[in-house]
Amino acid sequence: MIAVGYPICRKPKHPVHKVKRWPARLTARQDSFYSAPATARVAQANNWTVPRCVMISRILLTVAFLVSAPVAAFACAGQLIKDERIHASPLCVPADPQRIVVMDQSFALGIGLELGLPIVGAPLNRMSDEDLLARAQAVGVEDLGFVTEPNLERIVALQPDLIIGFTGDPGLAESFYPMLSSLAPTLLDISGDWQGFYDILGGLTGQQDKVEALFADYSARLQDIRERVPETAVSILRITPWDFQVYTDTPGAYAPFQVLSDAGVRRSAYETAPDGPALKRPDWEELSQLDGEVLLYIVGGTNDSATSGRHEEVVGNPLWRLLPAVQAGQVHQIDPATWMEFSGLPSAHRVLDDIEHLIINRE
């Protein structure tokens, strides 16, 4: 057994190292979450700054791992998790983690707090879900910065015994797993299945019964709504400062749109893609294909489309006014915290609230 400590970080005399770990490609699921264009997000993430002492620690940990690998391969002092939904499975994690850092401000933070995980750090910067932010702050979760620019020095200072993240993509997990796992055992979900993530964290904490009870209540409400949803076609659009985004009704859709589909809400033909992409980026001309009888749209959140004048520019455009739902007065702005920072069952229930109020009980 080789113990490796982390050197005390002092303010460097020279510029810190820059580590390029983020992939050049992001899935639609990550695109729904991160709030800048793909090129900007990659550039931001490629500029993660790492203190020199952390770099030294990574080298020491690598040496320790190589020396101890024969033992580690056959023994785990904590929990050994074997699950194809987890990157680098089988994974050895603490039996009773006490200091957890989460790497996303939606799924890992929301579901982790709901299940009572001892979370000590998370990227809280620019969160639009004020309720989740308040709950995190109430239990003393420290801010690690923005989700694409986490402060690794703060993570080291928090001395986590487990790091958790919901990446939803094997390539994304593989790109930054080496860095994170050098700081603490790291559990990264690569399935993109938000309901399955409850199962993983419930198993980690021994709260499978609580998870089953939570989903029993949700399933009952979902079935009730499904029986009352009309055949009305619904269009949904996200307005960002740089483009339009349509999250389609497709297998593997981003979580709130999975809920929408599970509730039986019918989308327009343009938005239904059984074998197509989970994300489309229509231009102004293609926007006419959002011909649902009801139009729900999202502005703001972790970007400034609600305050930069972009919102007014779009809704004042003559092409916007030609959309059938706009002409019929059936257009509604919906909460970006619910739809773009989906964080588990509380978010799913808010999606169902929107279905009830804006689709089932529409005037």
- Each residue of 68-90: pLDDT tens digit? 444 344 489 999 999 999 999 99
Give the per-residue pLDDT at 276.
82
Q: Does the structure show a pLDDT above 90 at 129?
A: yes
- Each residue of 218-262: pLDDT tens digit? 999 999 999 999 999 999 999 999 999 999 999 989 999 999 999
Give the per-residue pLDDT at 81.
94
Give the per-residue pLDDT at 363.
57
- Each residue of 295-320: pLDDT tens digit? 999 998 878 888 898 999 999 999 99
Per the confidence metrics, is the pTM higher than 0.75? yes
Tokens read off for 350: 């808010």
Q: Does the structure show a pLDDT above 90 at 32?
A: no
Q: Does the structure show a pLDDT above 60 at 291?
A: yes
**Angstrom distance (rounded) from CA 169 to CA 252:** 11
**Angstrom distance (rounded) from CA 274 to CA 85:** 23
Taking 3-state DSSP, the helix, strand and coil percentages for the chain, each rounded to the nearest 5, stand at 40, 15, 40
| 81, β-bridge pairs | 91
Q: Does the structure show a pLDDT above 70 at 112?
A: yes
User: Which H or E run contains 237?
Assistant: strand 233-239
Strand 244-247 to 279-280 pairing: antiparallel
With tokens 């649902």, the residue in question is 292
The number of beta carbons lying within 10 Å of the beta carbon of residue 278 is 21
CB 154 within 8 A of CB 142: yes
**Angstrom distance (rounded) from CA 252 to CA 347:** 18
98, amino acid identity? Q
The number of beta carbons lying within 10 Å of the beta carbon of residue 130 is 9
218: nearest Cα among 253, 272, 258: 258
Phi and psi at residue 299, to the nearest 5° = -130, 155
